[in-house]
Amino acid sequence: MTPSRRDMLIGTASLALAAAGLAASPAGALAAAPFDAAAWRRYADRFLQPDGRIVDTGNKGVSHSEGQGYGMLLAVAGGDRAAFDRMWSWTQRTLMVRGDGLVAWRWTPDGGVTDRNNASDGDMLIAWALLRAAELWKTEGYRTAALAIVKALETGLLAEHGGLTVLLPGRDGFRKGETLVLNPSYWIFPAIRAFAALPGGERWGKVTDSGLVLLSKARFGGFQLPPDWMALDAAGTVTVAEGFRKQYGYDAVRVPLYLAWDGYRDPYYFRPYADLVAKFGGSAVPATVSLPGGTTTQVAASVGMLAVYRLACRLAGAGDMVTVPPLAPDEDYYSTTLFHLSALAAQSLGIDP
């Protein structure tokens, strides 16, 4: 994770599926170990503090709602209830200070909560982790807490605009007159599916449908990639958002990950990423691409980003074009998280990592 990704917000406030015609990949084809209890312990040893705080090692040691949500999801996958409870307790007492059921998104070691605005993806990840924990450990309290967050999101962050039901990235700062600023990577499709299955969750089904429409419109440049940040006007037109870096990069790389994790297999959704890989080779993919111009950064995609591309290429029918090296001992929080989430998504699809 780069500081610029989260700096954009400062002050602005899975089902296991049958192969269905796609044979399982050969052993090692995704160059990622399956995520299991041992992988979780290694993750926790590096990023989980004793008090329950997940540390973003690539961003000056801050913590944020997204990190807490990812950590809680991985703890459920690793079967570690004690760690899950520590993370949830820290989140409740430290970040849930807004009074509206949503989570303040940013905490710093020297300043505590430095931005009380929420980040909707963090709220969603926490709620989804709580639902998964409730199912695994048969604890109604987790489910009750999840329902409260989902309700707060529905009340404060879902909006009807341009004929679509969309998710605002935060409670404050993303309405620009008749235009909404949106983040396509905040469409965490498997979480949205889980919310839609809750009593009264029909509106979340519309969020899924609208997300797919937005992704069909948000294809820019020669590679037809989604931007990290996009704008939706009242007529339903999608453009690359003003006031943000006009690029595909650290945020939008999660779009194919979340689609795969929710069981999407149509190559249409994954070809843009395979085309990007094909252009630059499996080990030299750039971290960002300007939109619509197509200028690429000299910074290479991280190991975690390469793991996402490996999965996307497989689903695009492009084979195993990406070489994913092992995680380095000092691999940062965001790259490591993407690496493990890609493994979980592959497992949910029945693909042997």
DSSP state of 178: T
Q: What is the pLDDT of residue 282?
A: 75
121 is catalytic: yes
Q: List Cα–Cα distances, 3 to 109, 171, 301, in angstroms.
A: 15, 21, 15
Q: What is the pLDDT of residue 157?
A: 98
CATH code for the part of the protein at 35-157: 1.50.10.10
DSSP per residue, 210-244: HHHHHHHH--BTTTTBPPSSEEE-TT--EEEPTTS
* pLDDT tens across the length of the chain (353 residues): 333 333 333 233 332 222 222 223 322 333 346 899 999 999 999 999 999 999 999 999 999 999 999 999 999 999 999 999 999 999 999 999 999 999 999 999 999 999 999 999 999 999 999 999 999 999 999 999 999 999 999 999 999 999 999 999 999 999 999 999 999 999 999 999 999 999 999 999 999 999 999 999 999 999 999 999 999 999 999 999 999 999 999 999 999 999 999 999 999 999 999 999 999 987 789 999 999 999 999 899 999 999 999 999 999 999 889 999 999 999 999 999 999 999 999 999 998 65
- Retrieve residue 74's tokens: 């991985």
CB 254 within 8 A of CB 5: no
- Retrieve residue 11's tokens: 């002050």
Catalytic residue among 56, 80, 115, 121: 121
Q: What is the pLDDT of residue 11?
A: 32
Number of neighbours of residue 325 by Cβ within 10 angstroms: 11
Residues facing 230 on adjacent strands: 182, 240
CB 345 within 8 A of CB 301: no
Element holding 187 (H helix, E strand): none
3-state secondary structure of 56: strand
* C-alpha gyration radius of the chain: 19
